[in-house]
Structure 1
Amino acid sequence: MKLFQCSNCKNPVYFENTTCEKCGNNLGYLNAIEGIVSFPADQKTVITPTKEKTALTYCANRQYNACNWLVATESPTPFCEACSTNRTIPDLSIPENKLDWQKIETAKHRLFYALHKLKLPTKFIINKQPLNLTFDFLAPDPSNPSAIKTGHANGLITLNIQEANAAHREYIKEQLSERYRTLLGHFRHEVGHFYWEVLIQPNAKNLEEFRALFGDDTQDYGQALEAHYKNGAPENWRESYISSYATMHAWEDWAETWAHYLHLMDMLETSYSFGLSLDPEISKVRNLEVACDFDPYEEKDFQKIIKHYLPLTYALNSLNRSMGHQDAYPFVLSPPVIEKLTFIHKVVRL
């Protein structure tokens, strides 16, 4: 993600900030300009810093501290682009639900930032039928907490809001022997299923290349899921897959790889925004000497992206270990996985 500043005092701020700690102004994110707009705290509206001079106000979910995006005051909906995709949210009169939902929206808005950067719409017409990205955020019944499963079906992404609870998420991570589990990771994975339906399935050429790389998507999903949880992943899965779960079915391989594509693009843009470069103090290891001096969202050559990304993950993991944390990026990108990522980069840019 790029870096942001208060447009009034130029103080560095985060993507999620609603107030500038230096000048006290309100802060709102305007997706159209990919920037933060600052305005006096006693104002309810602000004029866009563009030629159109549109009057803006906060998304309606600002009242719940769940969104800081700005929308036109004359918009037919009071919700921003990200919030307008919500079909169901939990009962906010329950404090725990509200807190979980706020965390969920924070992650989802970061997802929408990336989709905007990749110029990926969220509404399509496929075979003359609408296919729109929508979300159900559901609170489980205490008597049956596992009844709600996170997943995707026909554009609708369902998320058990317990995934916003760090203790619950860590418990599931240990139960499933996962190396990585985050809210943002969930969104990136599940949205991958949505974009498979719009970028791959309807396109014969893309589908043929997909099957050559990821496998047979016509395999019975239920049987594949049962076999995966019964037998686990093959011992040599790291040679061809980004995760053990990716071995379960071609759809999951795509979704897992798609999520990692969004990971690396976001991390590289952040590195580019900070002007990061690596010149490690060890004996001549040329492949660790890189300067993140380009915007990955504008780069056609995926090999250049990978060349810069791999040293970055080594540096990131080293920093985490210095703080006594586990690796932030505990994955190995084998040549077959890089080939899959390259395909995704090509399809996204078509």
Structure 2
Amino acid sequence: MKLFVCQACKNILHFENRSCGRCGHQLAFMPERQTLSAIEPVGEGFRTLADGGEGRFFCANAEHDACNWLLEAGETAGFCRACRHNGTIPNLSDAVQLAGWRELEVAKHRLFYSLIRWQLPVKTRTEDPQHGLIFNFLADDPAGQQKVLTGHDNGLITIALAEADEFERERRRLEMDEPYRTLLGHFRHEVGHYFWDVLVRDAGRLDDCRAVFGDDSLDYGEALKRHYDAGAPPDWQDNYVSAYATTHPWEDFAETWAHYLHIVDTLEMASEFGIEIDPPADQIGGLTARVTFDPYVAEDFDTIVHAWLPFTFAMNSVARAMGARDLYPFILTPPVIAKLAFIHELVREGGPDKQAVLAPEIEPQQDQEEVGAA
């Protein structure tokens, strides 16, 4: 993730900022330029100070304070590149559900920042009715008869609204004995399943992927039951990035995909701050790194991992000094690094329709009360 600069007053801005704290200018994200722009009203629309353009309009979800992205140039109504992938959203007449949905949208927009930077192929359900990427944000049945489970099915990603509650998310983390559980992690993991379909199965890379992650033709239901009955093998850290990754090759791929996105986006932010790791106590150079490159365009994965390992050692050490848990509580062994390198290769290649993410498309959005979803 980048830091941004207000074009009106040169103040430092962050991705989620809606207005500049120094000059008060309203801010909007321009996905085609991947930048946050100060804007000024002009007629019925806005002028973007980042490029001097006029006649720009906000995504329809700005009305609910759930999005600050601009529509494509020339569009006056509808949804932005991120929100056109929404299917069912929570009941917006419920203040608690509305607040939860806003939290989910923060994570979803960070996900789409990465997908757009890589120009990965992402189709809507309008473009591909069978496998287009669509998000359903669902609340549990008020009667308590049915709990929503986060998951993926042929491009349909269901996100449980309950996960937006920090206390509930922590309860689930402890119940499942997980070292790490975030909304952004859910989005990155579930979209990994979508890109397995797009970049592996549909792109003719099954054999290559199986050579790294194993045979995905194994019965998924049986594998899931075995995992929850017996847990991960005791030596799982030798070959997997997480215990859940041991469940099935599909989950191994999705977990590795999520970690690759964690790594790249975090390193970009470290680069934006000019972070350099050079501990005086390190006399052999194993913990030295200068994060001065753009990981989104790095050709060689070794460049990324050689910066990431010292950086995680440093930030985990700082977290411990404050009595907090490690920010990145995972071990990257050589087999795991090889899996991450495979993801890096897939992302660099992008797939047969890499530019599809740039094509404007409006996907209908309905709230949960309107469609009567559980």
Shorter-chain TM-score bucket reads over 0.9
1:183 aligns with 2:183: yes
Structure-1 separation of matches of 2:3 and 2:111: 16
After superposition, the Cα gap between the structure-2 partners of 1:104 and 1:145, relative to the gap in structure 1 and judged at 3 Å, is farther
Is contact 2:180–2:329 with CA below 8 Å preserved after alignment?
A: yes
Normalising by structure 1, we get a TM-score of: 0.94
RMSD over aligned CA atoms reads 2.0
- C-alpha displacement of 1:325: 1.1
Matches within 5 A, 1:1-350: 1-40=1-40, 45-48=45-48, 53-72=53-72, 74-75=74-75, 77-123=77-123, 131-144=131-144, 147-204=147-204, 206-350=205-349
Return the TM-score normalized by structure 2.
0.88
* Shift in Å, 1:340: 0.4
- SS of 2:57's equivalent in the other structure is strand
Task: Give structure 1 regions of 4+ aligned residues with deviation exceeding 4 angstroms.
Answer: 41-44, 48-52
Tell me, yes or no, if the aligned pair for 1:180 and 1:330 is still in contact at 8 Å.
Answer: yes
- The superposition leaves residues 86-131 of structure 1 with CA deviations (integer Å, 9 ceiling, x where unpaired) of 0100001111101100000000000000001111121189xx9753
Deviates more, 1:150-159 or 1:275-284: 275-284
Shift of 1:264: 0.3
Secondary structure, aligned partner of 1:157? strand
SS at match of 1:32: coil
CA distance in 1 between counterparts of 2:24 and 2:42 reads: 10
My pick for the range that moved more, 303-312 or 277-286, is: 277-286
Cα distance between partner residues in 2 of 1:124 and 1:303:
34
Structure 1 range deviating more: 252-261 or 313-322: 313-322
Kindly provide the amino acid, as one letter, of the partner of residue 106 in structure 1. Answer: V
SS for the counterpart of 1:71 is coil
Structure 1: state its 5+ residue gaps: none
User: What percentage of residue pairs aligned between the two structures are identical?
Assistant: 46
Q: For residues 235 and 51 of structure 2, what CA distance do their matches in structure 1 show?
A: 57
Q: Secondary structure at the match of 1:298?
A: coil
Deviation (angstroms), 1:46: 2.2
Shift of residue 323, structure 1, vs aligned partner: 2.1
**Structure 1 position 40, deviation (Å):** 3.7
Tell me, yes or no, if the aligned pair for 2:38 and 2:48 is still in contact at 8 Å.
Answer: no
Larger relative contact order (C-alpha < 8 A, sep ≥ 6)? 2
Q: Per the alignment, in what secondary structure is the counterpart of residue 29 of structure 1?
A: strand
Report deviation, 1:212. Answer: 1.1
Q: Deviations over 1:20-47 (max 9, x none)?
A: 1110110111111111111247976323
Helix, strand or coil at the partner of 1:110: helix
Aligned-partner Cα distance in 2 for 1:4–1:43: 26
